[in-house]
Amino acid sequence: MGQKINPLGFRLGTTQNHHSIWFEKPKNYCKSLQEDQKIRDRIKNYIDNHRVSYGTKQRILDIDIETDYISRIQIEKVRDFVQVIIYMGLPTFLIEKPHKIKELKGDVEKVLHCGNRKLTISISKIGNPFVDPNILAAILTHQLKNRVSFRKAMKKTIEVAEKKGFAKGIKVQLAGPIEGREMAGVEWFRKGRVSLQTIRTKIDFCSTTVRTIHGVLGIKIWVFANGKS
């Protein structure tokens, strides 16, 4: 049987970088790792809750999608300083309302237990959000929750990556009780090249879940965005 490996971990040090940058003693490593997860969870929950209340949408290829999606959260730590950089596609309310960043900072400090450490949070807008697999997964999730046919939703997501993001290749996979089927299954579509075994090829990947009226579906998206091979 084929052995699957995470495309991001497979390319660490070549085309991918770590999202947490710090050194820690072995006895404190687990605590620091859990701290990173708490920071990411708190930021994602804050942005998800405020995205709904802010209500900003953008029309992309005949579909209305919400804005302020997170691509990744990078955490850098030194002895008395913690820097959090939130990379986002289509940011709106955190840019237009700077006081929201201060509010978010206070929210994160509650779980961080800073003590003498200084926390800074900054927003960075990614250049091409429509080749980011996390944002494409959010677009697919938005369609599935609106009860769009899974085939139509997957093809539209591929179309967004191809026409708006100029992706060289993309593969989208759904797994679970698709459209209420009694037995869980796997459906996928691919367009272009997705060279998973070529390490120098920059493949971006994400894996997430979406809760629908039929149950929980797993989403995996691979994107080949550049011309290297």
d(C-alpha 148, C-alpha 159), whole Å: 15
pLDDT tens by residue, 67-95: 788 999 999 999 889 999 999 987 777 77
- Closest listed residue to residue 92, CA positions, set 63, 49, 123, 46: 123
**pLDDT score, position 54:** 66
Which domains does the chain carry?
7-125 (3.30.300.20), 129-224 (3.30.1140.32)
pLDDT tens by residue, 180-227: 888 899 999 999 999 888 888 999 999 999 999 989 999 999 999 875
- Tokens representing 182 are 């009694």
pTM of the model: 0.88
DSSP H/E element including 40: helix 26-54
**pLDDT score, position 82:** 93
Residue 229 has pLDDT above 50, yes or no: no
Task: Give, rounded to a whole angstrom, the gap between the first and last alpha carbons of the chain.
Answer: 26
Q: Classify residue 217 by burial, with Cβ atoms within 10 Å: 0-12, 13-18, 19+.
A: buried
Mean pLDDT score across all residues of the chain: 88
- Tokens representing 3 are 């052995």
d(C-alpha 203, C-alpha 224), whole Å: 5
